[in-house]
């Protein structure tokens, strides 16, 4: 009986692969560079090549495998198995990725949004494996999210749900690329946090970040956190602002979903407790007093592997 | 075979009753006054009396009935079947309402939050009966909500979810009784909309509402809408402010749940199109431009009967 699924996580720079078994043990994670010269054909060939390598390394035959789960950045047609568009890979337009990978490997395949897959990965094998509804926020270039209710990914009826990076946390606030104002992403992603700090410095705020900004012409979230830890007042204010808006979003997540846990993931969580602690503090302060906060805010356990493990988990759920 | 469920909706002034059959036909709605002198015993006796009358009027025996669904205002222990507390009925503390009504009628019973029940009522028999995930907002004294995903009520792991009246729509905004600031309820409930208008008048804003306020020492949402329609500038501003924050909440609901429809219910929806139109207009303007708005905002069809019909629906879902 087939007791394994292959996970593939398609990113703009790397494609990751793994194997997940029926006991939720994930292993054999490796990555191959994403070919950017031949899009999409070269990309799909590499996905198939990597999938075969997963089988070879584990000594499995196709018959031992239930199927393949593919995680990819949106926008996707999830149930159609189609990538509508892919940031960083301009040739990827309306590609029936699911069926082409399935045909290449001779296996059934399913497609899922990468943040949704990461949420399922943490739920099945990471910080959420003890169960209970879970919301994951990925804090990186933007803010992505995945929502797990009763063990299943919430997609929404038009497959446009779980876009918590675009909940409005500040009405009339900063303009977002999505066309809205005041989106969470504009306050709490690594990119915009750093851009906000740079803007403050350029507008004349005194800060130790000025030297870094002059040298690199840009800042990143780590620069801000390092300056904060060295006692820089502007950096502390900017970092705290992101934590505050994340906490607002966490309160709203509790009011809507009342999950067991909210999982912070993505590049910004490399700051660990430096990020988690101020978010938790704002959360406790902002949270209603009707009950104690019952939802726990935690940092992901699987880190960058959550997506590929979750992609395999998506296949398990869809194909069993 | 049992093909009917009884619905009971417990309110502070009236208790409503109905019968729902397996084909989702609801009927026989009537109400009895809520006895406020003998709480909780007299209340429970009246619920049992009303339940027997439902059977008698329909010519049914207990064996024809699957069970009873009870809707009640929170806070509840839903799975425990217990009313923790009831506004307007001070003696109602930690009452095992479900089991006492069940014993009185000799039928199985289930307990549900009244806003959740109303959402299920609209989903099964009202504006949501064609299917698809649905979020209902009740706009009255406060703002309640019910969320239906895959045909089921979303409770949250601590039974504290679907409290969308307390999502933060204005960080640092008006203080709410729940201990938070900037809750939707403080901007978009009938009560607070009218209170806000009264505050503006008392602070010296010129308005035709001044005379009504002097005569009654209070305003209600209808006063504000009537003044708005007669051309009063303050009333127009206050009404529009509520619609704006409701639209913010609707955008956030789309980003989180991406439902088929958002249903507005409760006292304030007596204003009909006067409420719906400005909410829809703000919603279209605030909504992202990545896609056209796909979620429809509509007004409830069942009105005040949604709760009692939904209570019966809760019994159907739990007992089949």
How many A-B residue pairs are in contact by the CB < 8 A criterion?
A: 133
- Alpha-helix runs per DSSP H in chain B: 41-58, 97-105, 114-125, 185-188, 190-202, 209-216, 221-229, 233-257, 273-286, 306-319
For residue A290, name the pLDDT band (cuts at 50, 70, 90).
Answer: very high
In CATH, B4-114+305-319 is 3.40.50.300: no
> Is the CB of A168 less than 8 angstroms away from the CB of B248?
yes
Would you kindly state where each structural domain of chain A is located, as residue ranges? 4-113+305-319, 127-300
The residues with which A83 forms a beta bridge, in sequence order, are A76, A95
Q: What is the pLDDT of residues A130-186, one digit of tens each?
A: 999 999 999 999 999 999 999 999 999 999 999 999 999 999 999 999 999 999 999
For residue A94, name the pLDDT band (cuts at 50, 70, 90).
Answer: very high
Helix axes B221-229, B190-202, angle to 10 degrees: 70
Q: Which of A159, A171, A289 sits opposite B170 (nearest CB)?
A: A171
Q: Is the pLDDT of residue A90 over 90?
A: no
Q: Which of B156, B170, B257 sits opposite A161 (nearest CB)?
A: B257
Q: Which of A132, A171, A179 sits opposite B289 (nearest CB)?
A: A179
Q: Is the pLDDT of residue B187 over 90?
A: yes
Q: What is the pLDDT, as a whole number, of residue A91?
A: 87
> Is the CB of B180 less than 8 angstroms away from the CB of A288?
yes
- pTM, full prediction: 0.97
Chain B residues within 8 A of A154 when measuring between CB atoms = 149, 257
Q: What is the pLDDT, as a whole number, of residue B89?
A: 87
**What kind of fold does domain A4-113+305-319 have according to CATH?**
Nucleotidyltransferase; domain 5 (3.30.420)
Average pLDDT (A65-86) is 95
Query: Are domains B4-114+305-319 and B127-300 of this chain identical in fold?
Result: yes
Q: What is the pLDDT, as a whole number, of residue B28?
A: 94
> Residue with structure tokens 């994930």?
A26
> Is the CB of B289 less than 8 angstroms away from the CB of A178?
yes
In CATH, B127-300 is 3.20.20.210: no
> Is the CB of B178 less than 8 angstroms away from the CB of A251?
no
Average pLDDT (B292-300) is 98
The C-alpha atoms of residue A25 and residue A195 are separated, in whole angstroms, by 40
Q: What is the pLDDT, as a whole number, of residue B87?
A: 79
> Is the CB of B75 less than 8 angstroms away from the CB of A170?
no
Chain B residues within 8 A of A159 when measuring between CB atoms = 258
Q: Which of B46, B11, B6 is nearest to B26 (CA)?
A: B6
C-alpha distance from residue B51 to each of B8, B47, B60 (Å):
8, 6, 11
Asked whether the CA dihedral A154, A155, A156, A160 is positive or negative, the reply is positive
Q: What is the pLDDT, as a whole number, of residue B86?
A: 87
CA of A227 to nearest chain B CA: how many angstroms apart? 27
Average pLDDT (B38-56) is 96
C-alpha distance from residue A164 to each of A137, A139, A240, B278, B283 (Å):
8, 11, 20, 25, 17
Chain B residues within 8 A of A75 when measuring between CB atoms = 290
Average pLDDT (B85-102) is 92
CA of B317 to nearest chain A CA: how many angstroms apart? 17
Average pLDDT (A95-99) is 98
Q: What is the pLDDT, as a whole number, of residue B286?
A: 98
Q: What is the pLDDT of residues B209-253, one digit of tens each?
A: 999 999 999 999 999 999 999 999 999 999 999 999 999 999 999
Chain B residues within 8 A of A144 when measuring between CB atoms = none
Q: What is the pLDDT, as a whole number, of residue B1?
A: 74
The C-alpha atoms of residue A227 and residue A208 are separated, in whole angstroms, by 7
Calculate the CA A140 to chain-centre distance.
8
Nearest CA in chain A to B134: A157
Average pLDDT (A188-196) is 97
The C-alpha atoms of residue A48 and residue A29 are separated, in whole angstroms, by 15
Do A183 and A168 contact (CB within 8 A), yes or no? yes
Classified as helix, coil or strand, B111 is strand
Chain B residues within 8 A of A146 when measuring between CB atoms = none
Q: What is the pLDDT, as a whole number, of residue A86?
A: 87
Q: What is the pLDDT, as a whole number, of residue A161?
A: 97
Q: Which of B59, B45, B31 is nearest to B105 (CA)?
A: B45
């Amino acid at each position: 009986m087939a007791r394994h699924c292959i996970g593939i996580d398609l990113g703009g720079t790397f494609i990751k692969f793994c194997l997940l078994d029926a006991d939720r043990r994930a292993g054999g994670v490796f990555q191959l560079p994403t070919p950017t010269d031949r899009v999409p054909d070269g990309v799909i060939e590499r996905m198939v090549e990597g999938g075969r390598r997963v089988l070879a390394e584990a000594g499995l035959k196709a018959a031992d495998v239930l199927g393949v789960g593919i995680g990819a950045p949106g926008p996707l047609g999830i149930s159609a198995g189609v990538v509508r568009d892919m940031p960083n890979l301009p040739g990827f337009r309306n590609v029936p990725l699911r069926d082409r990978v399935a045909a290449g490997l001779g296996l059934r395949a399913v497609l899922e949004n990468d943040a949704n897959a990461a949420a399922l990965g943490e739920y099945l094998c990471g910080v959420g494996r003890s169960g209970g509804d879970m919301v994951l926020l990925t804090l990186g270039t933007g803010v992505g999210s995945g929502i797990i209710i009763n063990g299943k990914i919430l997609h929404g009826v038009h497959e446009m749900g779980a876009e918590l990076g675009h909940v409005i946390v500040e009405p009339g606030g900063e303009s977002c690329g999505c066309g809205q104002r005041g989106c969470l992403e504009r306050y709490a992603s690594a990119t915009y946090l750093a851009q906000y700090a740079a803007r403050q410095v350029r507008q004349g705020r005194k800060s130790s970040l000025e030297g870094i900004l002059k040298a690199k012409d840009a800042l990143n979230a780590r620069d801000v956190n390092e300056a904060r830890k060295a006692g820089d007042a502007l950096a502390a204010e900017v970092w705290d602002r992101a934590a505050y808006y994340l906490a607002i979003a966490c309160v709203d997540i509790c009011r809507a979903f009342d999950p067991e846990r909210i999982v912070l993931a993505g590049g910004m969580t490399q700051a660990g407790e430096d990020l988690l602690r101020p978010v938790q503090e704002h959360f406790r302060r902002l949270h209603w007093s009707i009950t104690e906060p019952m939802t726990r805010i935690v940092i992901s356990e699987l880190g960058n592997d959550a997506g590929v493990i979750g992609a395999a988990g998506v296949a398990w759920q869809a194909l069993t």
